[in-house]
Amino acid sequence: MNRKELIKQVGNERIRILFNAAEARIEIGDTTLAKSYIKRLKKISAHYKIKLGKEMKSRICKKCNALLIPGKTCSVRIVSAHRYVSYECNACKSQSHIFY
Ligand SMILES: [Zn+2]
C-alpha cells in the first residue's frame, strides 16, 4: 500500500469513528457535540478529498451540520406523488429531499 492509499484509509476510518460518535451523542441528547463531530468529519473529508457515502451524506443537514435521525433530530415525510422522502431538520427547519 502506498502513502496516498494509507492516508485515505486512515481518513475513512476517522470519518466512520466521528459519525458513530455523533450518533452516540444524539442518543444521549447532546446535539451540540454531535454537530462539532460532523463539522470535523466534513473537514477531514474535504482535506483528504474523501467522498462521504450517499447514505452518510443524506443523514447530515446541509445547513446546520446536524445529524439527522428520524424521530429525534428530524421528521420524515413521504411524498408519494412526487416519489421522494422529505427530511426536515428539527434544528434549522431546512428540508432535504431524497428521491426513490
Ligand atoms: Zn439543520
Domain boundaries, the chain: 3-99
Residue 1 — very low, low, confident or very high, per pLDDT cuts 50/70/90?
confident
| pLDDT above 90 coverage of the chain, percent | 94
List of residues 6+ apart from 10 with CB closer than 8 A: none
For ligand 1, the distance from its centroid to the CA atom of residue 66, given in whole angstroms, is 5
Residue 84: predicted pLDDT: 96
For ligand 1, the distance from its centroid to the CA atom of residue 83, given in whole angstroms, is 22
For ligand 1, the distance from its centroid to the CA atom of residue 8, given in whole angstroms, is 28
- Answer yes or no: pTM beyond 0.85: yes
Cell of 66: 446536524
- For residues 70-76, give the mean pLDDT: 95
For ligand 1, the distance from its centroid to the CA atom of residue 74, given in whole angstroms, is 8
Residue 47: predicted pLDDT: 95
Q: How far apart are the first and last CA of the chain?
A: 38
Tens-digit pLDDT profile for residues 23-69? 999 999 999 999 999 999 999 999 999 999 988 999 999 999 999 99
Residue 97: predicted pLDDT: 92
For ligand 1, the distance from its centroid to the CA atom of residue 33, given in whole angstroms, is 14
